[in-house]
Amino acid sequence: MKNMQSKKALIVTPYLDHLGGGERYMLEAASAIESAGYALHFAWDNLRQITKLATQLNINLNDPQLDPHVLPHYASHNPLSMYSATHQYDLVLYLSDGSIPLLGAKFNLIHIQVPFQNVGGTKLTTQLKLKKVNNIIVNSEFTKSFIDQEFRVNSQVIYPPITPIRSGKKENIILAVGRFEPSINIKKQDLLIQAFREIQPELAGWRLALAGGSSDANWLKKLQDSATGLPIDFYPNLTYSELTDLYGKAKIFWHAAGYQVDVKEHPELAEHFGITTAEAITAGCIPLVVPKGGQTEVVPDSQYHWTTLNELRAHSLLAASGKLSVPSLPPTLSLTNFHHALSELI
């Protein structure tokens, strides 16, 4: 990699006040860009939020700076405003909400993490903006299949960064990790509570642990109320260290995103990739996932797949009795590969 100490990079994302897989992707990409010699700037107005999030996710950022003047242009209907605001930069990495901005940097990357459909990808104005984009990067082959069709592009898959988590002393814990909010990519904790209620008599001494970021107290309270009387523990807004400890203790990992979803009609409701599943595997958890979206790229073996609650019950009993082992993570999914792929691109 050439010396780029004098070059400036800008990270544009409106979601730096959340803790999740998308934020990990963008901050780890920022770390890789900074390691390549760029002076790193964020289109954000609160440096403490960025450094706190990076610390929570165990991501190294040496000297992040703010450019708060860019963020208001994110939702601007004037394409030239974003072009002008980014023109001073050598590299821009922009997280798209489905729209395509007019970027003015020398090298422009757009990251799309949702399999968007019907967002005007073939419109003339969109296609003209895409001429200023050097690459579109996506998080899975699943997302790529929809983005390429929607925008008439050949996007590049760079799988999210997976940091190995050390396995600890295992306990009889089933773990599920996902935001506690009824969002577009709802993690279906309500379904998992129902499933555990039905299976719990056959799993004496086992507990279900539900962990994830929470910004919706009402939704979290609703879930907690539905779990009354069950050995279910809620862990909202854990630090990264606390979360990795929980991964290390759990024996089984449940993931329900995509359950009963028609991915052709609503691909956005399936798991677009599934960082938490990959992390669980590195921590020695047996993953049981819905085989839709990007989950099959993380867990290709069908013996870990379920599409009905009866299948989830049967597989969970097999896992609990030691008749299922922890699968290997596909070799393409690693922090090293993520940094290498991004460095090659820029």
Per-residue pLDDT for 25 more than 80? Answer: yes
**pLDDT given for residue 33 in this prediction:** 96
Tokens 């820029």 map to which residue? 346
Q: What is the pLDDT of residues 80-89, one digit of tens each?
A: 999 999 999 9
Q: Within a 10 A sphere around the Cβ of 3, how many other Cβ atoms?
A: 8
pLDDT tens per residue, range 326-339: 999 998 899 999 99
Residues 2 and 132: their CA atoms lie apart, in Å, by 23
Q: Which residue has the higher pLDDT, 59 or 56?
A: 59
How many CA atoms within 13 Å lie on the side-chain side of 227?
22
pLDDT recorded at residue 145: 97
Answer with the residue of higher pLDDT: 213 or 92. 92
pLDDT 10s digits, 137-178: 999 999 999 999 999 999 999 999 998 999 999 999 999 999
Q: Over the stretch 105-141, which tens digit does the pLDDT of each residue have? A: 999 999 999 999 999 999 999 999 999 999 999 999 9
* pLDDT at site 215: 80
pLDDT of res. 4? 46
Q: How confident is the model at residue 5 (pLDDT cuts 50, 70, 90)?
A: low
> Within 10 A of 100 (CB to CB), how many other CB atoms are there?
25
For 182-224, the pLDDT digits (tens) are 865 578 999 999 999 999 999 999 999 999 988 889 999 999 9
- Specify the residue for token string 């990251």: 111
Quote the radius of gyration of the chain (alpha carbons, Å): 21
Each domain of the chain, given as residue ranges in start order, spans 8-161+334-345, 173-320
- pTM for the complete prediction? 0.91
Distance CA 295, CA 309 (A): 18
Q: May I ask the CATH class of domain 8-161+334-345?
A: alpha beta
Pair 326, 286: CB distance under 8 Å:
yes
Query: Residue 55: what pLDDT?
Result: 87
Q: What pLDDT sits at residue 204?
A: 93
**pLDDT computed for residue 30 by the predictor:** 97
User: In terms of CATH architecture, what is 173-320?
Assistant: 3-Layer(aba) Sandwich (3.40)
CA distance 54 to 288: 29
Same fold yes or no, 8-161+334-345 and 173-320? yes
Q: What percent of the chain has pLDDT over 90?
A: 83
pLDDT of 14 reads 84
pLDDT in tens, 251-301: 999 999 999 999 999 999 999 999 999 999 999 999 999 999 999 999 999
Q: CA dist 295 to 157, 270, 276, 299, Å?
A: 15, 9, 10, 6
Query: pLDDT band at residue 18, thresholds of 50, 70 and 90?
Result: confident
Q: Answer whether residue 3 shows pLDDT above 70.
A: no
* pLDDT, mean of residues 47-62: 90
Q: 97: which 2 tokens? A: 């909400």
pLDDT value, residue 159: 96
Tokens (6 digits) for 126: 């969109």
CA–CA dist 154, 249 (Å, integer): 41
- On the question of pLDDT at 322 being above 80, the answer is yes
